Every structure is written in C-alpha cells, then in structure tokens.
Amino acid sequence: MKKQEIGAYIITFLLIFLAIVWIYPYIWLFISSFKPAEDIYTTFWPKSLTLDHYKFIFIMANRFERPFVRAFFNSLFISTTVTFSVIITSALVGYAISRIKFKAGRTLFNFTIWQMLFPGFMFMIPLFVLIRNFNWLNTYQALIVPSLTSAWGIFMFAQAFKTIPEDYVDAARMDGANDFWIIFRVMFPLAGSTASIVGLFTFIGIWDNFLWPLMVMKDYNKMPLSVLLASFNHEYASYIGPILAGSVIQTIPMVVIFLLLRRYFLQGISMSLR
C-alpha cells in the first residue's frame, strides 16, 4: 500500500515535469519574441529585453506591404462572424429538426449526419471553382460565406435540444411566447454548454484555417493572419524575431478563448465519445 502511494507521487511529479516540457515551446516562443535577434538561438534567459520585433510587426511591416495589425483584425472579423453565424443557424435548424414533428425535418437530420461523413478537403477544389464563378476570389465573402453553417453544429444542437423536456416549451407557449422566443430564451440557455463547444471549436477552426484562405486570398490587405504570417516567413525567413512575435500574436486569441471556455472543452471531449 505504502509502495503504491510513493509510486503515485513519483507519477505526479513526472507528469508535472512533462506538462512543463509540453508548454516549453510556448515559453520559448514568448521569451524569444522579446530577445535581441542574435540571442534567440543561443540563450534561454534573455540578457536584455527588446520590443523591436513587435515594433517591426506593428509599424515597419507596413512598408513591406505586410500589414500585420490589419491581418489580425481580418482574422478576428472573419472568425467572429462565422462563429456567431454558426451558433445562430445551428440553433435554429437544430431546433427545427429535433423538436418540430414533420417529415422534412427527419430527412434533413439524416442528411446532416450523412454530410459529416465527407471530409472537407474533398470539396475544396470544387468550392474554389464556385467562389471563382461568383467572382469572389480575394474578397472577405470567400472566407466567410462557405462556412456560415455547420452540419456538425446542427447535429450538436439537435442532440442537446432533444433532451430538454417538452414541459418547458408548453409552459412558454402558455405565456404566449413565439418560436424565436422559445429557441433563444428557453432552449438556448439550457443548451449553454453545447453553444460554447460549438462556438469554441468553430472559432479555433476558422482562426487556424490555413489551406482554404491560402487558395482564395492573394490580397495582402484582406489576408487572415495565418496566411500573412506564412507568406512573410516564406519571403523574409531570416527575420526570425518578427516571425516569432507574429506567431505569439497568432496564438494569443486561441489560448485566451480556450482558457475562458476550458470547462466546456473538457465536456466536449467526453461528448465526442458517445
């Protein structure tokens, strides 16, 4: 018994050590972005701190026609728009196919499950053709409109709404509530964790999306940060400091939203098992 106790403490310390190893790349990234360029590869603890790399990103990069600040807000705009749209449309369609009894709803529910079988990359080139036919290349629409709804989000909301007792809806109807009121004032708050999971994964997915914007966006002024950073790295690979500083900026929103919604992330993992 005693031996097991000691073993458990050894495992605990080992895992805490590994946890630090796991975030070490982040720590290195963060510290390095404040180090003078010649120290980045050589020393871990900075001898002196500098804001040069961030100054370069915020001010100088514009002269290279690489507007990082603008790209950050492009990413923010695109990701937030898509996230809100996905949450709202998923809640609406999820409600229609899970709570309203009609044949079209059941058919649509089966169709969304079928849709999820197809990996996104199969549609990428044909979708590019569509965007090109719309003359939407190098526009924000190309990055936003194809992602406005999500079969997975609809499925998640439909599953969550199914478990809410009918009494809640009946009670609201007695009080004269209309359908929109029922969805967003009665059902939605009861499915709060689903909404957070769908929102979190959608935001992260869009913010981190790389291949699709790489295909449809060549205009530096409308690029999301991920693509601008990659193109900057491609052409100015020796500017290690600014690249690392840009990586810090690219990472921060994802880490912040993850830390805010971490409880739901854990719930999402156990949900994906069912």
Partner 1 sequence: MSKRSQFGRKERVFGYSIIIPYIAYTAIFWGYPFVWMLILAFTKWNFFSKPSFVWLDNFLKMFTDSVFLQIILNTLNFLAYLIPMILISSLLFALALKKVKFGRTFIMLSFLIANVSSGVAYSLLFSNLFAVNGPVNRIFDALFGVTIPWFSDPQLAIFSICLIITWKFIGYYGLILYAGLQQIPQSLYEAAELDGANGNVLFWKITLPLLNPSLVTVTVLAIMLTFGIFTEPYLITGGGPMQRTTTFMIYMYDTAFKRIDPSYATTIAIVTALLSYGLVTLIRKVFEREVSFV
Task: Map residues 34-73 to x or -, x wherever contact with partner 1 holds by CB under 8 A.
Answer: ------xxx-x-----------------------------
- Between residues 59 and 130, which has the closer beta carbon with respect to partner 1? 130
Interaction of residue 146 with partner 1, rule CB under 8 A: yes
**Under 8 Å between Cβ of 213 and 223:** yes
Task: State how far the Cα of 271 lies from the Cα of 263, in Å rounded to an integer.
Answer: 13
Among 38, 122, 165, 189, binds partner 1 (CB under 8 A): 122
Residues binding partner 1: what is the number (CB under 8 A)? 83
User: Cβ of residue 49: shortest distance to partner 1, in angstroms?
Assistant: 18
Residues contacting 136, CB < 8 A, separation 6+: 142, 145, 216
Among 59, 62, 132, 171, binds partner 1 (CB under 8 A): 132
Interaction of residue 20 with partner 1, rule CB under 8 A: yes
Amino acid identity of 35?
K
Task: State how far the Cα of 246 lies from the Cα of 227, in Å rounded to an integer.
Answer: 11
Interaction of residue 177 with partner 1, rule CB under 8 A: no
Task: State how far the Cα of 193 lies from the Cα of 213, in Å rounded to an integer.
Answer: 29
**Contacts by 168-174 with C-beta closer than 8 Å and gap 24+?**
169/99
Interaction of residue 105 with partner 1, rule CB under 8 A: yes
Identify the DSSP state of 184: I
User: Cβ of residue 119: shortest distance to partner 1, in angstroms?
Assistant: 5
Among 7, 110, 162, 192, binds partner 1 (CB under 8 A): 7
Interaction of residue 26 with partner 1, rule CB under 8 A: yes
Which position has the token pair 């409308």? 222
